[in-house]
Amino acid sequence: MLTDTYIPRRLDDQWKIGLWDIDVAAPVLFMLFVGYLASSLWGFCAAVAIGIYFARKMARTKADKHPAYALHWLYWHLPTNPVSSMRATPPSHIRRMVG
């Protein structure tokens, strides 16, 4: 009983790619792929620049918000489908709830 118990504080951290959260790194990775498909140096550079722009915009948007802000935004703004629908929460088109 005299030993200290370690209590983990970081169980629910978001996934990371290097130092970046997955939702900030995703636009850059997607645009790297699109730039590769362009098969030209200018197309690749333009796609990477666009990806970096959107990643910075995403990082600034979610700076003082909940860590899962991107997932919440996607839930409320994208249409539901059988893959992304949840049983415990109401559909996203129902904006008012009583109770």
This model's pTM is above 0.75: no
What is the Cβ-side half-sphere exposure of residue 73, based on CA atoms within 13 angstroms? 10
List the chain domain ranges: 16-77
Question: What mean pLDDT is predicted for residues 30-45?
Answer: 94
Instruction: Examine the pLDDT at 6 and tell me if it is beyond 80.
Output: no
Q: H or E element: which one contains 70?
A: helix 69-77
**Phi first, then psi: what are they for 61, rounded to 5°?**
-65, -40
pLDDT tens digits, residue range 45-61? 999 999 999 999 988 98
pLDDT tens digits, residue range 14-33? 778 888 888 889 999 999 99
**Torsion sign across C-alpha atoms 63, 67, 73, 76:** negative
Burial of 23 (0-12, 13-18, 19+ CB in 10 A): buried
Using CA atoms, how far apart are residues 72 and 92, in angstroms rounded to an integer? 10
